[in-house]
Each structure stands twice: as C-alpha cells, then as structure tokens.
C-alpha cells in the first residue's frame, strides 16, 4: 500500500529527502521507482546508487503530450505504485494521466499557491516585493499547479534575499514538507475527495 514512485527531471534533492524520511522512519513507505523525462537527471544516479529502480521516459521529438503521457502510464503500470510524487518533474501532465491517478498524484511547488504558478517563482516573488514566500504540496489536477492544496509552509522574504538565497531557503522547507505530507496521505490523515483535500481535524 505504501509504494511511492517519484518523478524527477533534475537534481533530485526532494527525492533524497523522501528517501531519508523512509530510512529514518518518518515516512512509512518505500520508494519503489524513480522515473525521469531527462536521461541526464542527477537524481537518477542518486536513485541507482541507492538501489532504486529507475526508468527514463524521454519526450521524443515527434510525440505530442498525449502520446508521451501514454508511455508514462505504461511505465507507471509496470511499477504499480500506490502514490506518485512529482519532485521537480518539469512536464505538464495531460488529462488522461491525471484522471487515471487522481487522488494519488501529488506535486511540490516552490511558492505559496495559488500565487506564482509556473516557473521562476523565486525571482518573481522578489520582483513583486512580496513579504512572504514558501512551498506547497498539492494534489495534481488538470489545472496547472491548481489542484487542491494539502499543506504549505511559508517564510519571510528578507531584504537581503536573492532568487538564489530564497530558492535555497524554500528548498529547506520542501525537504521537510514533502515527507510530512506523504505520511499524511499514507496514514489516511489527508485524502482527495470530489476535487477537494480533506484533512483529519
Ligand atoms: C524544487 O524546488 C521543486 O519545488 C521544483 O523544482 C525543484 C526541484 O528540485 N518544482 C517545480 O518547480 C515544479 N513546478 P530537486 O530536483 O532538487 O528536488
């Protein structure tokens, strides 16, 4: 019941945070596979070094989103994961895939959603002189970065902050938040129902 497939495109620090939490008992789960759209993702090397099965599902030049998603679904079916955690997976998923895994498919995003969907969130927060920034874990729906929020955590933006320093501090939040939320889900304290997120109490 507690197998998590982690989808990445790059460095994989959130993957590492999830694996650390599984190892030290904060997260009662197994990372059963790592899938990447990027064959050069550093997180793949990390996964292989830790004995986790890896799969590369690269976007081919002639493929549209639906065709790509179907290949991804085929890979996910092989893995038979209970949960799919997007951790820096930089592709937009289409309706077929999203609806197939709705309620089991989650994403971490580096902003206080619904503010700052999309890319380059840290610089945009600085440019807008925002007093607060943070990270959000949410269920994935067809709306980009728009699914029901499970949990988010904020920090104060400092006058001295740059996009890089903010990215670093938000990442520290992400590394605690994602394992915590996955444990909420696995233990049944958070669940998806009819387009909403329900939390115990
Ligand atoms: C993380 O900051 C994550 O929130 C972000 O990519 C980074 C991946 O870092 N995801 C998105 O922007 C998705 N819209 P990591 O590879 O070190 O985990």
pLDDT mean over 42-66: 96
Q: How many structural domains does the chain have?
A: 1
Interval 63-73 mean pLDDT:
96
* DSSP class of 67: H
Mean pLDDT of the chain: 97
pLDDT of residue 125: 98
Q: Is 14 in the pocket of ligand 1 (CB under 6 A)?
A: yes
- Ligand 1 neighbour 87 (Cβ under 6 A): yes
CA of 86 to the centre of ligand 1 (A): 9
The single-letter DSSP state of residue 55 is E
- Residue percentage of the chain with pLDDT more than 90: 98
Tell me if 10 CB under 6 Å of ligand 1: yes
Whether ligand 1 lies within 6 angstroms of the CB of 174 is answered as: yes
Instruction: Give the model's pLDDT for residue 80.
Output: 84
pTM above 0.85, yes or no: yes
Number of H helices, E strands in the chain: 6, 9
Is 70 exceeded by the pLDDT of residue 195?
Answer: yes
Residue 17 alpha carbon to ligand 1 centre in Å: 12
Please work out whether the CB of residue 161 comes within 6 Å of at least one atom of ligand 1: no
Stretch 89-102: mean pLDDT, rounded?
97
Instruction: Tell me what pLDDT residue 122 has.
Output: 98
Domain housing 151:
2-199
CATH of the domain at 90: 3.40.50.170
Task: Look at ligand 1, atom 17, and give the residue with the nearest C-alpha.
Answer: 13
Residue 53 burial class via C-beta count within 10 angstroms: exposed 0-12, middle 13-18, buried 19 and up: middle
CA distance 19 to 13: 10
Task: For residue 194, report the distance from its CA to the centre of ligand 1, in Å.
Answer: 27
The single residue listed with the structure tokens 């929020």 is 149
Query: Residue 1 has what pLDDT?
Result: 67
Q: How far is the CA of 62 from the centre of ligand 1 (A)?
A: 27
Residue 14's pLDDT is 98
pLDDT tops 90 at residue 165: yes
Please choose, from the candidates 25, 21, 23, 27, the residue with its C-alpha nearest in 3D space to the C-alpha of residue 2.
27
Mean pLDDT of 143-155: 97
User: So what's the pLDDT on residue 196?
Assistant: 96
State the pLDDT at residue 93.
96
pLDDT tens figures, 104-115? 999 999 999 999
The 10s digit of each residue's pLDDT in 34-45 is: 999 999 999 999
């Amino acid at each position: 019941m507690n197998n998590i497939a982690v989808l990445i495109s790059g460095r994989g620090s959130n993957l590492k945070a999830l694996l650390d939490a599984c190892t030290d008992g904060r997260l009662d789960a197994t990372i059963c596979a790592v899938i990447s759209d990027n064959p050069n993702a550093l997180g793949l090397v990390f996964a292989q070094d830790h004995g986790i099965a890896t799969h590369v599902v690269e976007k081919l030049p002639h493929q549209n989103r639906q065709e790509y998603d179907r290949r991804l679904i085929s890979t996910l079916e092989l893995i038979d994961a209970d949960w799919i955690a997007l951790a820096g997976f930089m592709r937009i998923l289409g309706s077929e895939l999203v609806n197939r895994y709705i309620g089991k498919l989650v994403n971490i995003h580096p902003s206080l959603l619904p503010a700052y969907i999309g890319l380059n969130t840290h610089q945009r927060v600085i440019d807008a002189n925002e007093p607060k920034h943070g990270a959000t874990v949410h269920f994935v729906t067809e709306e980009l970065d728009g699914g029901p929020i499970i949990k988010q955590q904020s920090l104060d933006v400092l006058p001295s902050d740059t996009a890089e320093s903010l990215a670093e501090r938000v990442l520290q939040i992400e590394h605690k938040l994602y394992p915590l939320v996955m444990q909420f889900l696995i233990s049944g304290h958070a669940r998806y129902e009819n387009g909403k997120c329900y939390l115990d109490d």
